[in-house]
Chain A
Amino acid sequence: MDGIEQVSPTEICPDRSQLVSEDGKNTKSVLCQWCGSKVLCPGTALFAEKELFLPSMRKKTESESIALTEGSVDGETLTAHWLVDDMYTFENVGFTKDVGKVKYLICADCEIGPIGWHCLDDKKSFYVALERVNHA
């Protein structure tokens, strides 16, 4: 369940194959869906599949203190992610305070999120869910 499979691009559905290069990296910039802030530059993240629960996206104005505790929140389990191993790979990103052993990733500018996931036990894995970002 926690294994990170690197999926070869040929197994990826058509629209995804446009996003993933032959060496498994993102061909396009990864942007915030809400404000367009750049999260990752092209070629900086690996496509990875891992089942991760992310609470629903909300704008912070709607809910200041997002109850990010798993179980009490709606959310969804997402499997397609961009994976980076160093937080300084990000152009712009925000980290929430710890929720258990997890920090959620949010947009650094508008703070919408969570757009991604990081577990404190694995300092070299930062995931950004494909479904929660735009590509351009």
Chain B
Amino acid sequence: MDPRYDIQRRGAGGSGAGSPALTGAQARRRKMPPRPADYKLQVIIIGSRGVGKTSLMERFTDDTFCEACKSTVGVDFKIKTVELRGKKIRLQIWDTAGQERFNSITSAYYRGAKGIVLVYDITKQETFDDLPKWMKMIDKYASEDAELLLVGNKLDCETDRTISRQQGERFASRISGMRFCEASAKDNFNVDEIFLKLVNDILNKLPLEDLHSELSSSILSLQPEPEVPPELPPPRLRCC
């Protein structure tokens, strides 16, 4: 069976350091803010230029889709909160737009990601043809247990479609554990569902014992620093 469903690496069944039963008490002791997030997950959105990665992120975040607002100038990442199964989940969503050349997206983006949304444009053959290259990057850099979701975007442009739904399904079916859907960020078709499904899959996979320790160690620093592992101590703080 898929090794990712195996017993978790740390503390399975044992009362390891990060026993979830302690979290309430720990929270009080540490004076944590009221109702902190239950989980923190990192999600990245990748895909070739112009496929609508940023629109997907925006659309998920709100109803602010705007055709004039396609450029990604400015926004680096977002923290978004969703509630699922009574849990509060903070997503750190990285949109990699502007760095579409395969090798320019640093491995740090991939390394901490629990969910990877790979996007192509159903009206542009070349964005579909690029998928194997993106998969190579995922294989090379991403955690083996990252959830993968293939999204055929721009469903609102059905008349210009060049990639059939079956083609997308077929691609996804060849990759173990990869889900597939089509979406339109423009009319918000499937966008919320995409993210919620992804989060749901991630939660299913996370070993309960490990949640807190796992998550706290998976937080990337603000600036992806390609060759520096995230767990290295930060450089000495300087005055700003």
Interface residue ranges, A against B (CB under 8 Å): 2, 35, 37-38, 41-44, 60-61, 64-66, 68, 87-98, 101, 103, 106, 108-111, 118-123
Residues of B within 8 A of A94 (CB): 75-79
CB distance from A91 to the nearest CB of B (A): 5
Residues of B within 8 A of A95 (CB): 75-79, 222
What is the bound-complex CA distance between A122 and B81, given in angstroms?
Answer: 24
What is the bound-complex CA distance between A47 and B80, given in angstroms?
Answer: 23
Chain B interface mostly: loop
Residues of B within 8 A of A43 (CB): 33-34
What is the bound-complex CA distance between A118 and B135, given in angstroms?
Answer: 34
Residues of B within 8 A of A119 (CB): 240
The reply to whether B76 and A97 form a contact with Cβ atoms under 8 Å apart is yes
CB distance from B157 to the nearest CB of A (A): 22
The reply to whether A60 and B74 form a contact with Cβ atoms under 8 Å apart is yes
- Annotate B87-110 by CB proximity to A: 1 below 8 A, 0 otherwise: 000101000000000000000000
Residues of A within 8 A of B22 (CB): none
Of all A-B residue pairs in the complex, the 5 with the closest CB atoms, nearest first, are: A109-B62, A44-B33, A119-B240, A65-B73, A121-B240
Chain B residue at minimal CB-CB distance from A118: B222
B21 within 8 Å of A (CB atoms) = no
B71 within 8 Å of A (CB atoms) = yes
12 CB contacts below 8 A, A to B, read A38-B81, A60-B74, A61-B68, A64-B69, A87-B79, A88-B79, A89-B36, A90-B90, A96-B75, A97-B75, A106-B74, A121-B238
- Annotate B28-72 by CB proximity to A: 1 below 8 A, 0 otherwise: 000001111100100000000000000000100110101011010
Interface residue ranges, B against A (CB under 8 Å): 33-37, 40, 58, 61-62, 64, 66, 68-69, 71, 73-81, 90, 92, 219, 221-223, 234, 237-240
The reply to whether A65 and B61 form a contact with Cβ atoms under 8 Å apart is no
The reply to whether B69 and A61 form a contact with Cβ atoms under 8 Å apart is yes
Given contacts A64-B69, A109-B61, A110-B62, contact A123 B221 (CB under 8 A): yes
What is the bound-complex CA distance between A37 and B64, given in angstroms?
Answer: 12
CB distance from B206 to the nearest CB of A (A): 16
Given contacts A43-B34, A120-B223, contact A92 B240 (CB under 8 A): no
Known pairs A97-B74, A108-B78; list 9 more (Cβ under 8 Å). Answer: A37-B61, A44-B34, A88-B79, A88-B219, A90-B90, A94-B76, A97-B75, A108-B62, A120-B222
The reply to whether B75 and A65 form a contact with Cβ atoms under 8 Å apart is no
Name the one of A37, A90, A121 contacting B237, with C-beta atoms under 8 angstroms: A121
What is the bound-complex CA distance between A95 and B224, given in angstroms?
Answer: 13
What is the bound-complex CA distance between A101 and B68, given in angstroms?
Answer: 29
The reply to whether B62 and A37 form a contact with Cβ atoms under 8 Å apart is yes
